[in-house]
């Protein structure tokens, strides 16, 4: 058996290729949209991709099933409840897919979404115990999939939670302890709240350590898994719907370098400038109105949080990372990227009249401002869990970054705003978004709450 996990740190997303090396037949599960790595591995190992399975309609990224099917002629499989604009193979409970001696078996595990499935992997078709189970977003390492996302129109979180209880407690936990668990996501994903950094586990380990796998009533389970979930990024509903559609295919050659004249014309026509440089470089000098989403971080998820998929985008990126940034936008379905500006430092020098610095305050400067005659409004963009665990500034407005784009009308326009997060990364994103939206006096805090929580230095004599 050939078995490979492909892990994308930016989205905390795992995909898989399983194949029978004798027959050369392979199936890819939960592929990302840029599929060249799967195709290259198949060529290297002499494999033919005959099928593509999505464990559910993903909300956090655009899956690569259409690209793989176009490249290989493979069928596309979903759970039996799935409905799509393109032809699919509906996979029912207990259905076996034989690749040779290697076999896959479908287990319907609804709850994260109604059509969710898990895939049992048998190294030999006559094995009584599976080699492993690909659990999609039903079971994670340390957690289970959240049942409250907008991917499932017309089904309530309580109804999905009840389905998930049955899927986890009665189906997945009925597997033998030694069965390996391979989830679709790891730590950092917004598809759950307590995901581990580990990328594989076993049913036995999850039975012993995962809070949601301990025996409990349905009502208790639903209350536990729905409590404390962070707000979903704004693009999740868009991507879940896009994965149902016969959408445009990913085109690696679509990204192009813009001339200065083209760039200027796009800005005049209201294209949004996405500046993917570090918060430090952005603060030193950026184009007015640009939105800072640093490439070194959870770029795709954070871009999908603060940008709109309908906007035309132009990219400023760290040197030689322009095409990477465009690809990462495409992974979440943000295809309206007109191009990128090469040599940003030179370009910013040429556009000096349109360049401005971003205000960043130290913790001491913020304390002094708060003690002054006209104190600023502090905006805390951390999650609820971070505030509960680490404390907060009294009277600060709490608007998590994932909610900020739709809640800017709650902020005053006649007072200075100072944004902070945990360490200073998300606050730069948030502050740039507020400036883009027209707020005039916006700063963010260097070092974030970690700096603010340190004792103030004693006053000099």
Three-class DSSP category at 346 = helix
Please give the Cα distance from 286 to 50 (Å, whole number): 48
Going by their DSSP bridges, the two strands 272-275 and 313-316 should be labelled as parallel
Three-class DSSP category at 132 = strand
pLDDT at residue 196 in the model: 75
pLDDT at residue 150 in the model: 54
Please give the Cα distance from 365 to 343 (Å, whole number): 34
Tokens of 194: 């307590």
CB atoms closer than 10 angstroms to residue 367: 15
For residue range 272-313, what is the model confidence (pLDDT) as tens digits? 999 999 999 999 999 999 999 999 989 999 999 999 999 999
**Which pTM does this prediction carry?**
0.93
Residues 6+ apart with CB under 8 A from 293: 274, 275, 276, 299, 302, 303, 306, 307, 429
Burial of 432 (0-12, 13-18, 19+ CB in 10 A): buried
Q: Which of 109, 129, 104 is nearest to 119 (CA)?
A: 104
Please give the Cα distance from 63 to 331 (Å, whole number): 8
Please give the Cα distance from 29 to 53 (Å, whole number): 5
pLDDT at residue 454 in the model: 85
Residue extents of the structural domains in the chain = 2-242, 260-356, 359-452
Q: Residue written as tokens 């963010």?
A: 444
pLDDT at residue 457 in the model: 60
Asked if the 260-356 domain carries CATH number 3.40.50.1820, the reply is: no
Tokens of 315: 């990219």
CATH superfamily label, 359-452? Rhodanese-like domain (3.40.250.10)
Three-class DSSP category at 172 = helix
- In order of 18, 190, 253, 430, the CA distances from 134 in angstroms are 11, 19, 32, 36
- Looking at domain 2-242, its CATH class is alpha beta
For residue range 35-85, what is the model confidence (pLDDT) as tens digits? 999 999 999 999 999 999 999 999 999 999 999 999 999 999 999 999 999
pLDDT at residue 347 in the model: 84
Tokens of 228: 């404390």
Residue 144 phi, psi dihedral angles, 5° rounding: -130, 165
Same CATH topology for 2-242 and 359-452: the answer is no
Going by their DSSP bridges, the two strands 89-91 and 75-79 should be labelled as parallel
CB atoms closer than 10 angstroms to residue 85: 9
Gyration radius from the chain CA atoms: 24
Residue 216 phi, psi dihedral angles, 5° rounding: -165, 165
Q: Which of 125, 19, 128, 127 is nearest to 74 (CA)?
A: 19
CB atoms closer than 10 angstroms to residue 363: 20
Beta strands in 138-260 (DSSP E): 180-183, 201-202
Q: Which segments of the chain have a pLDDT < 70?
A: 150-153, 188, 190-194, 456-461
Buried b (16+ CB within 10 A) or exposed e, 16-32: bbbbbbeebbbbbbbbb
Query: Which segments of 185-235 does DSSP mark as H helices, in order?
Result: 203-209, 218-226
Q: What is the 3-state secondary structure (H, E, C) of 295-354?
A: CCCCHHHHHHHHCCCCCCEEEECCCCCHHHHHHHHHCCCCCCEEEEECCHHHHHHHCHHH
Cα-Cα-Cα-Cα torsion 30, 33, 37, 39, nearest 10 degrees, comes to 80
pLDDT at residue 191 in the model: 64
């Amino acid at each position: 058996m050939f078995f490979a996990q492909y892990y994308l740190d930016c989205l905390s997303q795992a995909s898989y290729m399983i194949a029978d090396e004798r027959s050369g037949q392979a199936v890819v599960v939960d592929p990302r949209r840029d599929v060249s790595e799967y195709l290259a591995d198949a060529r290297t190992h002499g494999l033919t991709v005959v099928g593509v399975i999505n464990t559910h309609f993903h909300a956090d990224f655009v899956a690569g099933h259409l690209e793989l099917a176009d490249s290989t002629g493979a069928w596309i499989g979903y759970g039996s409840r799935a409905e799509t604009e393109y032809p699919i193979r509906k996979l029912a409970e207990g259905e076996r897919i034989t690749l040779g001696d290697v076999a896959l078996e479908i287990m319907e595990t609804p709850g994260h979404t109604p059509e969710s499935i898990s895939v049992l992997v048998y190294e030999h078709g006559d094995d009584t115990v599976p080699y492993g189970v690909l659990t999609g977003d039903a079971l994670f390492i340390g957690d289970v999939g959240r049942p409250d996302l907008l991917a499932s129109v017309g089904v309530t979180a309580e109804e999905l939670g009840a389905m998930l209880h049955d899927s986890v407690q009665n189906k997945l936990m009925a597997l033998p302890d030694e069965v390996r668990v391979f989830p679709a996501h790891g730590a950092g994903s917004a598809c759950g709240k307590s995901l581990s950094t580990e990328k594989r586990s076993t049913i036995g380990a999850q039975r012993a350590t995962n809070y949601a796998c301990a025996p409990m009533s349905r009502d208790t389970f639903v209350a536990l898994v729905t409590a404390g979930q962070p707000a979903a990024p704004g693009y999740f509903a868009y991507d879940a719907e896009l994965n149902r559609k016969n959408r445009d295919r990913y085109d690696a050659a679509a990204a192009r370098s813009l001339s200065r004249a083209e760039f200027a014309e796009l800005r005049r026509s209201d294209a949004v400038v996405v500046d993917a440089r570090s918060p430090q470089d952005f603060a030193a000098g950026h184009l007015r109105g640009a939105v800072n989403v640093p490439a070194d971080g959870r770029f795709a998820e954070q871009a999908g949080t603060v940008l709109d998929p309908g906007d035309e985008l132009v990219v400023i990126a760290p040197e030689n990372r322009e095409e990477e940034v465009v690809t990462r936008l495409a992974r979440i379905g943000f295809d309206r990227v007109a191009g990128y500006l090469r040599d940003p430092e030179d370009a910013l020098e040429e556009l000096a009249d349109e360049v401005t610095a971003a205000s960043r305050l130290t913790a001491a400067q913020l304390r002094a401002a708060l003690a002054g005659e006209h104190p600023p409004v502090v905006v805390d963009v951390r999650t609820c869990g971070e505030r509960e665990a680490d404390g907060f500034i009294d009277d600060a407005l709490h608007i998590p970054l994932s909610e900020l784009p739709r809640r800017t009308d709650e902020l005053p326009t006649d007072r200075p705003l100072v944004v902070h997060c945990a360490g200073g990364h998300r606050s730069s994103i948030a502050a740039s978004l507020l400036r883009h939206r027209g707020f005039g006096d916006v700063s963010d805090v260097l070092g974030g709450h970690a700096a603010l929580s340190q004792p103030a230095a004693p006053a000099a004599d």
